[in-house]
Amino acid sequence: MPKEKPSPNRRLRPLPRTFYSRPVLTVARECIGKSLVHSIEGRTTVGAIVEAEAYRGPEDRAAHSFGGRRTKRTEPMFGRAGHAYVFFVYGMHWNFNVITGRVGDPHVVLIRAVEPLAGKGVMASRRGMREDRIELTNGPGKLCQAFAITGDHTGIDLCKARGAPAPTLFLADGPQLPTVRAPRVGIDYAGAWVSKPWRFCARGNRFVSRPRPG
Partner DNA sequence: TGAATGATTTACT
Partner DNA sequence: GTAAATCATTCAA
List of residues contacting DNA (CB under 7 A) = 53, 55, 62-65, 69, 71-74, 85, 87-93, 95, 97, 108, 110, 112, 127, 135, 139-143, 151, 184-187, 189, 209
Q: Nearest Cα to 149, choosing from 57, 13, 40, 28?
A: 40
Strands 35-40 and 43-56: antiparallel
CA torsion, ordered 120, 124, 129, 134, to nearest 10 deg: -40
| Cα angle for residues 127, 34, 25 (degrees, 5° grid) | 105
Closer residue to DNA (CB): 80 or 127 = 127
Closest approach of DNA to the CB of residue 106, in Å? 8
Closer residue to DNA (CB): 83 or 142 = 142
Closest approach of DNA to the CB of residue 160, in Å? 24
Do 15 and 171 contact (CB within 8 A), yes or no? yes
* DSSP code of residue 183: P
Closer residue to DNA (CB): 92 or 192 = 92
Closer residue to DNA (CB): 55 or 170 = 55
Closest approach of DNA to the CB of residue 34, in Å? 17
Closest approach of DNA to the CB of residue 22, in Å? 17
Q: Nearest Cα to 25, choosing from 181, 157, 211, 137?
A: 181
Number of residues written out for the chain: 214
